[in-house]
């Protein structure tokens, strides 16, 4: 959190850091604490003498020590808790450790382990690390948000009401866990200054009986508030964001099916906002699909796609495909005619109109042609449609079983299969199963990380590949809106980095280990698009003329990214 306005310090990414603190207080602030990393001069100037052991260490020494401690822990959840503690002790050390061991720690700080941490949020709680807004006290919204800094301090706000977290459903106030984890990734992947991002939990109650019965549960102990009171609370929050932080980008995460898209549609015209589950998932899946289509030698015009699980993510993917292909000269209707949505009632048909969500309706299949076919059976649907692509966002493990996959492999040369449900145990199939039942011919991407199978790398098709880039691109351009074309620019940039373009056995998305470089390129593409289409306000607000040439813009972007390093401290 930024210091109070009386001692406000600029939150920069280079040069000396102004510090108004000293002594024990400084050691308790993760933004300023360097522990054994403080130099002799800093110990003197900031009155730290006597508070630290004699020996002085470099950041690299500290990372080695912390990493050894991390490795000595066995269970992923214990590792997650350890990293959480490190984060509230020394922010630079925390991010440097993550950066140096990125691939290894990714599944610990994010899906799947973060899901476990969120399920146990009230029992693992040590220190609060975000902004908690209570539906029973909407009068506190402004005061709570304003405590995070002045208008120019805040770039990004991630908000969740915790209804549909990472595939594990309603976690009530545990929402703060996903907002914080996504905020960490904003810094780690895209270099957003950690103090310029606010993770927010909207505590509107929970319908999770386990939590309601748990005497240690830390959130509001009543059912989820819905309807007008909920809408008013969310609206109060958004209007407050607009008022206090008009430059910031608002990121919605893990809202439930009945709210996610509705809130996005309501607020998109009002401010720069983005729903990661709808748009981020759609964007990364489209990038992986573009890569897969190239490997399979297919044409998007002919592609038949079945999406199993037509909720927030499933319909987000369908819309992203439809809107992107429309810009490539394939009409929206043609794309919609080639997408089949399947949900709990089976294939979604026109005759189900009244039971379908507005997002599902445009894709409902005409009933004629399906007479005598069991539309509840995925294998039967696959037999009839003969899809090239099968995408899972259902949270139904093992839904892509042997009959389904074998049926798919009968009709197409290279089945494209993306089981995207998180966490790992909810995947519709494992990569090993998919390869087994398609005789190794499938092109696979998964929602959570998986190890290689028979030397084949498995792309992690997770929105973490794009939202940091889209978010930071919107921040740096000071975008008025996060537009479809800016998201499209991110998709094209990511699709252009697919290892499978060079090696047909390569992954459909680049390696998460390279996420900082990947994000920098996406940021740059988004900034350039925002400049071109006039959504950017960076010159107007900050007086900055961003280079419009690609390489120069990329260099500029890299300079704006926060890095975990001990910059000189200046006493103020
Ligand atoms: N890989 C990634 O980047 C992302 C993955 N996801 C994952 O996708 C899954 C779904 O997330 P959301 O769309 O946000 O949830 P959601 O609740 O909005 O949608 C889930 C949909 O699946 C349907 N469903 C549930 N059981 C089913 C069954 N047995 N057969 C067919 N359909 C069934 C539900 O009725 C609902 O329409 C979660 O596991 C989530 O973690 C979500 C966003 C991003
Ligand atoms: C990845 C993500 O956003 C989800 O599973 O909800
Ligand atoms: Mg999500």
Does ligand 1 have an atom closer than 6 angstroms to the CB of 165? no
Residues within 6 Å of ligand 2 by CB: 111, 166-167, 254, 276-277, 422, 462-463
- Tens-place pLDDT, residues 386-396: 999 999 999 99
Domain 58-271 falls under CATH 3.30.390.30? no
- Tens-place pLDDT, residues 188-225: 999 999 999 999 999 999 999 999 999 999 999 999 99
SS3 288: helix
Scanning 429-547, the segments in alpha helix (DSSP H) are 431-437, 467-476, 484-495, 515-533, 538-542
Q: What percent of the chain has pLDDT over 70?
A: 98
Residue 175 has pLDDT above 60, yes or no: yes
Does ligand 1 have an atom closer than 6 angstroms to the CB of 115? no
Given this model, what pLDDT does residue 531 score? 98
- Residue 245 annotated to the active site: no
Given this model, what pLDDT does residue 46 score? 98
- Tens-place pLDDT, residues 238-294: 999 999 999 999 999 999 999 999 999 999 999 999 999 999 999 999 999 999 999
Q: What is the DSSP letter of 365?
A: B
Nearest ligand to the CA of 395 is: 1
CA–CA separation, 295 and 91 (whole Å): 42
Neighbours of 361 (CB within 10 A): 15
Q: Report, in angstroms and rounded to the nearest whole number, the Rg of the chain calculated over CA atoms.
A: 24
HSE at residue 70, side-chain half, CA atoms within 13 A, is: 23
Does ligand 1 have an atom closer than 6 angstroms to the CB of 421? yes
Tokens of 86: 């490190």
Residue 3 has pLDDT above 90, yes or no: no
**Residue 343 CA to ligand 1 centre (angstroms):** 9
Catalytic residue among 121, 182, 245, 363: 182
CA-nearest residue, atom 2 of ligand 2? 166
Which phi-psi region, left, alpha or beta, contains residue 169 (left: φ > 0; alpha: ψ -120 to 50)? left
The atom number, within ligand 1, closest to the CA of 257 reads 18
- Residue 110 annotated to the active site: yes
On the question of a common fold for 58-271 and 279-461, the answer reads: yes
Given this model, what pLDDT does residue 166 score? 92
Given this model, what pLDDT does residue 356 score? 96
Domain 279-461 falls under CATH 1.25.50.10? no
Q: Strand pairing of 569-571 and 305-308?
A: unpaired
- Tens-place pLDDT, residues 396-425: 999 999 999 999 999 999 999 999 999 999
SS3 272: coil
Contact criterion met (CB below 8 Å) for 389 and 438: no
Q: Is the dihedral of CA 78, 79, 80, 84 positive or negative?
A: positive
The atom number, within ligand 2, closest to the CA of 276 reads 3
pLDDT bucket at 9, cuts 50 / 70 / 90: low
Best of 168, 262, 309, 508 for a ligand 1 pocket test (most atoms within 8 Å of beta carbon): 309
Domain spans of the chain?
A: 58-271, 279-461, 465-560
- Tens-place pLDDT, residues 119-169: 999 999 988 889 999 999 999 999 999 999 999 999 999 999 999 999 999
Given this model, what pLDDT does residue 5 score? 43
Residue 4 has pLDDT above 60, yes or no: no
CA-nearest residue, atom 6 of ligand 2? 166
The atom number, within ligand 1, closest to the CA of 166 reads 41
Residue 40 has pLDDT above 50, yes or no: yes
CA–CA separation, 46 and 37 (whole Å): 13
Residue 1 has pLDDT above 70, yes or no: no
Contact criterion met (CB below 8 Å) for 420 and 392: yes
Nearest ligand to the CA of 311 is: 1
- Tens-place pLDDT, residues 330-345: 999 999 999 999 999 9
**Residue 165 CA to ligand 3 centre (angstroms):** 6
Q: Strand pairing of 339-343 and 346-347?
A: antiparallel
- The mean per-residue pLDDT over the stretch 64-85 comes to 98
- Tens-place pLDDT, residues 465-495: 999 999 999 999 999 999 999 999 999 999 9
Given this model, what pLDDT does residue 56 score? 96
CA–CA separation, 185 and 181 (whole Å): 6
**Residue 463 CA to ligand 2 centre (angstroms):** 7
**Residue 64 CA to ligand 3 centre (angstroms):** 32
Neighbours of 369 (CB within 10 A): 8
SS3 459: strand
How big is the chain, counted in residues?
Answer: 572
Q: Strand pairing of 459-460 and 443-446?
A: parallel
Neighbours of 121 (CB within 10 A): 24
Q: What percent of the chain has pLDDT over 90?
A: 94
Does ligand 1 have an atom closer than 6 angstroms to the CB of 313? yes
Does ligand 1 have an atom closer than 6 angstroms to the CB of 320? no
pTM: 0.95
- The mean per-residue pLDDT over the stretch 524-551 comes to 96
């Amino acid at each position: 959190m930024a210091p109070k306005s009386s001692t406000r310090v600029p939150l920069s990414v280079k040069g000396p850091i102004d510090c108004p603190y000293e002594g024990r207080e400084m050691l308790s602030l993760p933004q300023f604490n360097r522990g054994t990393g403080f130099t002799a001069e800093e110990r003197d100037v900031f009155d730290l003498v006597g508070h630290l052991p004699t020996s002085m260490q470099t950041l690299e020494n500290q990372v080695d020590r912390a990493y050894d401690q991390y490795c000595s822990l066995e269970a992923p959840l214990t590792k997650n808790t350890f990293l959480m503690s490190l984060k509230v002790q020394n922010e630079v050390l925390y991010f440097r450790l993550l950066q140096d061991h990125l691939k290894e720690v990714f599944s610990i700080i994010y899906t799947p382990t973060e899901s476990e941490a969120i399920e146990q949020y009230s029992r693992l709680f040590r220190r609060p690390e975000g902004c908690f807004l209570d539906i029973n006290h909407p009068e506190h919204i402004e005061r709570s948000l304003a405590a995070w800094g002045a208008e120019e301090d805040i770039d990004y706000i991630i908000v969740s009401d915790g209804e549909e977290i990472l595939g594990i459903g309603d976690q009530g106030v545990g929402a703060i866990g996903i907002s914080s984890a996504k905020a960490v990734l904003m810094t780690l992947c895209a270099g957003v200054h950690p103090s310029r991002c606010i993770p927010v939990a909207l505590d509107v109650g929970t319908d999770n009986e386990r939590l309601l019965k748990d005497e240690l549960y830390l959130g509001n102990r009543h059912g989820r508030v819905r309807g007008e009171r909920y809408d008013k609370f969310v609206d109060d929050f958004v209007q407050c964001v607009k008022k206090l932080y008009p430059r910031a980008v608002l990121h919605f995460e893990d809202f439930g099916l009945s709210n996610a898209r509705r809130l996005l549609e309501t607020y998109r015209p009002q401010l720069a906002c983005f729903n990661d589950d709808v748009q981020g998932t759609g964007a990364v899946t489209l990038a992986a699909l573009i890569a897969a289509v190239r490997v399979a030698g297919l044409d998007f015009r002919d592609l038949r796609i079945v999406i199993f699980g037509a909720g927030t993510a499933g319909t987000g993917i369908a819309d992203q495909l439809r809107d992107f292909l429309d810009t490539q000269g394939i009409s929206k209707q043609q794309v919609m005619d080639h997408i089949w949505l399947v949900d709990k009632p089976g294939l979604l048909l026109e005759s189900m109109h009244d039971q379908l969500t507005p997002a599902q309706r445009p894709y409902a299949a005409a009933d004629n042609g399906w007479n005598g076919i069991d539309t509840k059976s995925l294998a039967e649907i696959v037999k009839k449609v003969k899809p090239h692509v099968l995408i899972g966002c259902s949270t139904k493990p093992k839904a892509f079983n042997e009959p389904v996959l074998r049926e798919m492999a009968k009709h197409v040369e290279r089945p494209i299969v993306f089981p995207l449900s998180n966490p790992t145990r909810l995947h519709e199939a494992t990569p090993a199963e998919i390869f087994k039942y398609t005789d190794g011919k499938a092109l696979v991407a998964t929602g959570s990380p998986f190890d290689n199978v028979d030397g084949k790398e498995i792309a992690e098709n997770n929105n973490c590949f794009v939202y940091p880039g889209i978010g930071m691109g919107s921040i740096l351009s000071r975008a008025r809106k996060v537009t479809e074309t800016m998201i499209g620019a991110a998709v094209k940039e990511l699709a252009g980095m697919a290892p499978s373009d060079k090696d047909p056995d390569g992954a459909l998305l680049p390696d998460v280990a390279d996420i900082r470089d990947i994000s920098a390129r996406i940021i740059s593409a988004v900034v350039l698009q925002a400049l071109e289409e006039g959504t950017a306000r960076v010159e107007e607000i900050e007086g900055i003329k961003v280079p419009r040439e690609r390489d120069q813009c990329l260099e500029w972007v890299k300079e704006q990214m926060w890095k975990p390093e001990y910059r000189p401290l200046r006493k103020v």
